[in-house]
Amino acid sequence: MGAEGSGYAGSELVVYLNAGVNQTAAPLAFMRKEADSLMRTAGYSVEWRNVKSRRAGEDAADLVFVELSGVCTAPMNPVPGAPAPDDNQPSLASTAVEDGVVLPFSRIDCAALTRTLSAMFAHEPPARRTYLYGRAMGRLLAHELYHVLAQTRDHAAAGIGKPCFTASDLVTDRFEFESVALARLRHTVAETHSAAPVEVSGR
């Protein structure tokens, strides 16, 4: 269900992306497309900006800084085999927390993501690997945005909001926010839209 069906006009979410200097364009484009789609279901419209373009003093109601760690590209020579057991999966993404408060600083570990997906990509053509890799990044990012926007360290039982992703979760055709996570995000959007405007009077 899109934002139109959620009952909200859409709340702007500004994402400042620190991609470093060694990233290729295609995976990032697929990442943005997947994250856009997932966040739209919760009533958010994402505006992407380069972290280097941020001006001092700039502010927004919903603003998140995202760092891509490592080289974010599908493995060139994936090795067939079984993915690592779930309890051995590395941390694929994280968001800063200080004194119990979720901060708007998230990170995707592309080296860990590459290791996780390598076995799944062994029989995929290169072009599809790039698409699946970028889409997986978008799903990881949407998970971290959920924590930041809902201001919660809690997880949902399934979907994008659940605590751990398997390799299959990252490459399956459909993997979305389930109802509990969506409700939390849409509640945040509703609060933003219902807030009374602040008027400043002059003399």
87 secondary structure, DSSP code: G
Among 25-39, 47-61, 125-139, 150-164, name the one with the lowest average pLDDT.
47-61
Q: Write the CB contacts of 64 (distance below 8 Å, at least 6 apart in sequence).
A: 13, 14, 15, 16, 104, 105, 106, 144, 145, 148, 149
Q: What is the pLDDT of residues 146-177, one digit of tens each?
A: 999 999 999 999 999 999 999 999 999 999 99
Gap between the terminal Cα atoms of the chain: 48
> For strand 93-98 and strand 101-109, is the pairing parallel, antiparallel, or unpaired?
antiparallel
More confident residue, 87 or 185: 185
pLDDT of amino acid 89:
62
pLDDT over 60 at 137, yes or no: yes
Where do the domains of the chain lie, and which CATH numbers do they carry?
3-75+87-190 (3.40.390.10)
Q: How many CB atoms lie within 10 A of CB 71?
A: 13
- Residue 165's closest CA among 173, 174, 175? 175
* Model pTM score: 0.85
pLDDT over 70 at 195, yes or no: no
Q: What is the pLDDT of residues 99-117, one digit of tens each?
A: 999 999 999 999 999 999 9
pLDDT of amino acid 94:
97
